[in-house]
Amino acid sequence: MTAAAFDPYARVGASGRFLYALNPLAKLLAPLPAMLVLVFVRDLTTPLVFLVIAYVVLLAGAQLTARIALVLAVAIPAAALVLGLGMSVWTDASRVDTSVTVLQIGSWSLYGGALAVGMATGLRLAAIVSLALLAGLTTSGPDLVRAAVQQLRVPYRIGYTALAAFRFVPRFGYELDVIRQAHRVRGAHRGRGPFAAVARWWGYIVPLLAGAIRHAERVALAMDARAFGAHSDRTERHLVPWRVRDSAFVALFWIVSAGILVAFFPWTL
């Protein structure tokens, strides 16, 4: 029986991709120390190495769609480059190495030291985002909540209430699309320009709020019918256990991260 048979909102993992078989908390804990240390790193090599490691793990352990592949191949490097160049321009020239001039426009100069500082910042943020994607791309919201309730002992009243609220978002998107189609069929609020757009959105608010209230009432009644919150603990239909492979993944990632950080210490330019 597949995961979708237990939970229609759960993402079914791709066969042969090991990240989907890991506990969500393991995928969060493994890169967490490296992400925290990267906040204080100032060199170019350390974040670049972690960026490469994150990409290798994602390519080996996650199923990448065309959109995600485009994000990894284009969006993240482009964002790191743009951010690095922007930070280079705003870096105080009096606090960096001015022996190499990369660009000079009139009396303004872009020095090699400023460029190195800016690119280090861009690489650092790109590495942190890429490490966060290890869990973000291969973990479903329900599994994360279940793991937090089962392993971290988060009160189920908090976990499942947050999950129910999170599931309101796609439903609101669907209802907004239905309301737009209904208005379009009736020819309501036609026209162009900012005033017509405001009128259209104002016409969406009331039916959207009414639908949200009805949905919230149905969810509350369903939770009451199942005695939600009446007991200190609840049984789980879908278990997310912590296995030996989760401990091995976390330990291996921590060892590799520690080795990289020690090898490139003191992490300065």
Domain ranges of the chain: 14-150+240-263, 156-225
Residue type, 155: P
Give the helix ranges, DSSP H, for 62-166: 66-70, 76-90, 112-136, 141-150, 156-166
**If the chain, 269 residues long, is cut into consecutive pieces of 10 residues, what is the mean pLDDT of each piece?**
43 69 96 96 95 96 93 96 93 86 88 93 96 94 90 89 82 87 76 74 86 88 85 82 96 97 88
Which one-letter DSSP state was computed for residue 44? S
Distance CA 108, CA 136 (A): 42
- pLDDT for 77: 96
- pLDDT for 184: 80
Instruction: Report pLDDT digits (tens) over 202-216.
Output: 888 888 889 889 888
Distance CA 137, CA 151 (A): 21
Q: Is the pTM of this model over 0.75?
A: yes
Q: In this structure, what are the phi and psi dihedrals at residue 105, rounded to the nearest 5 degrees?
A: -125, 105
- pLDDT for 123: 96
Alpha carbon distances (Å) from 131 to 142, 155, 208: 21, 28, 37
- pLDDT for 188: 67
- pLDDT for 5: 39
- pLDDT for 189: 62
Which one-letter DSSP state was computed for residue 231? S
Residues 179/207, Cβ–Cβ less than 8 Å: yes
Strand 108-111, strand 101-105: pairing: antiparallel
**C-alpha atoms less than 13 angstroms from C-alpha of 193 in its C-beta half-sphere:** 3
CA-based max dimension of the chain = 74
